[in-house]
Amino acid sequence: MSDERAGAEHLNLRENFPAVPSDTWEDAIRSFLEGAPERELVWHSDQGLVVRPYYRSDALAGLQTQTSAIPGQFPFVRGPGREWKIDETGLMQGNSVRADLVLEAGGDSIQQLGIAIAEGVEKLTVLGETRSIDLAAREIQFVFGIGSTYFFEIAKLRAARMLWARVVEQFKPINLDSCGMNLHARTVRINKSFCDPHTNILRATTEAMAAGIGGCDSLTVEPFAFDRQIAINIQRVLAEEAHLNIVADPAGGSYYIEALTTSLARAAWTLFQRIEASGGYISSINWLAGEIAQSRAARENDVSSRRRTLVGVNNYPNPAEEFLSKDSRERIAGGPFPQFRLAEPFEAIRERTARHTAKTGRTPKVLLLKRGDLSMRTARATFSLNLFGCAGFDIDQLEEYAETDADLIVLCSSDPEYLPFAEEVCATVKVPVVIAGNPQDHALTLKAAGIQGFVHTGSDAIEILTSWQDRLGLEK
């Protein structure tokens, strides 16, 4: 029987929905955003890469070799073509290239890739003196740490495979399969914390997902302030229920991921060339350490200023949690570059408050006193709640002043309303009073009225919280 019906119209997608050029889309975006400049339409990553708000097929121009690659075949950008394995032990092979330690030291994705390839070349050169390149290449294991920048982590592993394949190819192996990277992935500690420890489970889960989608050969989820069995179960759920270990390169073909893979590979290759020009990995360790230190400092500054959020650590604290003691902490493994965790300064602040509470039986209390403009007072009270909550302080909120046992009062209002608000409160209380906000035009007048400080989005959270712990008499 024919499916055609009298009077039925055929839908032709090509004719009825003609292609829209990228310029037309961008004109529409700028119109909607009322002429927003280019810098507001793109994101500049920590690595200096430009990430656009959307990607179309024209972003893949010239990438046919990459996008048409087959999983399990040279240049292996689309993964090994086989299931990744759950590695509960996390034990590394003897000839391991520890790119994970570059990440744990604060290095960005480009530094991890460039340094890993350079170290791999040196190992391959040495091993190749006593055996064939095919055997030597297969003896080298690359260990990559997986951080929290989800799409970058996926693209990073794809770029690593492609770069290594191109490098080994230059050593003229007999079998192109020898150009495949033996890639072990592990979740990292740099972004983990003993503050709000259950959030670590979410971090580890997204990291493990990125590792599987990016094409690792084996994966270890390291427990950090959560049970080892949970770490194992994360891997089992991703493998046996989400089936991430049987789908080959699920990110392949994504305009964004493909473009990001290429951007990372090109930038990492430039770094690799610099390292080679300086005599190789070993000869370059000192200046590489300097560049990683700069990257680390930038990360620490972003967390301290709260431009980068660590949930439960420098923002959105959980007031009901019980802070873990020092005795429960694990040491970070050493390496060629100093290891650290971004949360450590905030953990020290929380621990100091916990010691004070244990000794005195009382937790320092902050009163958020709200008045005036609803939008401004709500936003500034929320900001202050998150800020002082990260120190483990008790927080009260009132809209009219009343007798309080608070150790510090934070006024939350709009800039024009602060002066009469401050004059009233400062004349009434004996505890320090600060302003939530940065009313620069009235700062001197407010200080004259008795205000003893300002907290705002431009503040360094570690500096502010440490300063108030000092002023409130908490022992160091």
Could you tell me the strand order of the sheet in which 141-146 lies?
A: 85-86, 218-220, 182-187, 141-146, 96-98
pLDDT at 2: 47
Length of the chain: 476
Q: Model pTM? A: 0.91
Q: Give the bridge partners for 411, in sequence order.
A: 369, 435
Confidence at 184, pLDDT banded by 50, 70, 90 = very high
According to the per-residue pLDDT averaged within each range, which of 17-21, 88-92, 174-178 is highest?
174-178
Residues 6+ apart with CB under 8 A from 444: none
| Angle between helical axes of 281-304 and 461-471 (0-180°, round to 10) | 60
Neighbours of 141 (CB within 10 A): 20
pLDDT at 319: 81
Amino acid in the structure at residue 455: V
| HSE-up of residue 118 (Cα within 13 Å, Cβ side) | 26
Averaged pLDDT, 295-314 = 96
What is the Cα–Cα distance from 272 to 113, expressed in whole angstroms?
8
Q: 385-414 b/e with 16+ CB inside 10 Å = b? A: bbbbbbbbbbbeeeeebeeeebbbbbbbbb
Instruction: Say which range, 15-29, 273-287, 388-402, has the weakest mean pLDDT.
Output: 15-29
Give 118's contacts (C-beta < 8 A, 6+ positions apart).
272, 275, 276, 280, 281, 284
Query: What band does 163 get if pLDDT is binned at 50, 70 and 90?
Result: very high
Tokens 């990430």 belong to which residue?
51
The amino acid sitting at 272 is F
Q: Which two tokens stand for residue 176?
A: 């192109």
How far apart are alpha carbons 123 and 125 in whole angstroms?
5
* Cα–Cα distance measured from residue 161 to residue 177, given in angstroms and rounded to the nearest whole number: 12
CATH class of 59-304: alpha beta
pLDDT cut 70: percent of the chain above it: 94
pLDDT at 258: 97
Which of the four pLDDT bands, split at 50, 70 and 90, describes residue 12?
confident
State how far the alpha carbon of 94 is from the alpha carbons of 139, 141, 283, 426, in Å: 9, 8, 21, 66
Q: Indicate whether 122 pLDDT > 60.
A: yes
Domain boundaries, the chain: 14-51, 59-304, 361-471
Distance CA 157, CA 390 (A): 34
Query: 384 pLDDT exceeds 50?
Result: yes
CATH number, domain 361-471: 3.40.50.280
* Res 9: pLDDT: 67
Rounded to whole angstroms, the Cα distance separating 362 from 357 reads 5
In this prediction, residue 328 has a pLDDT band, given cuts at 50, 70 and 90, of very low
SS3 sequence, the chain? CCCCCCCCCCCCHHHHCCCCCHHHHHHHHHHHCCCCCHHHCCEECCCCCEECCCCCHHHHCCCHHHHCCCCCCCCCCCCCCCCCEECCCCCCCCCEEEHHHHHHCCCCHHHHHHHHHHHHHHHHHHHCCCCCHHHHHHHCEEEEEECCCHHHHHHHHHHHHHHHHHHHHCCCCCCHHHHCCEEEEEECCCCCCCCCCCHHHHHHHHHHHHHHHHCCCEEECCCCCCCHHHHHHHHHHHHHHCCCCCCCCCCCCCHHHHHHHHHHHHHHHHHHHHHHHCCCHHHHHHHHHHHHHHHHHHHHHHHHCCCCCCECCCECCCCCCCCCCHHHCCCCCCCCCCCCCCCHHHHHHHHHHHHHHHHHCCCCEEEEEECCCHHHHHHHHHHHHHHHHCCCCEEEEECCCCCCCCCEEEEECCHHHHHHHHHHHHCCCCCCEEEECCCHHHHHHHHHCCCCCEECCCCCHHHHHHHHHHHCCCCC
Q: Is the pLDDT of residue 326 over 60?
A: no
Asked if residues 337 and 208 have their Cβ atoms less than 8 Å apart, the reply is: no
pLDDT given for residue 327 in this prediction: 46
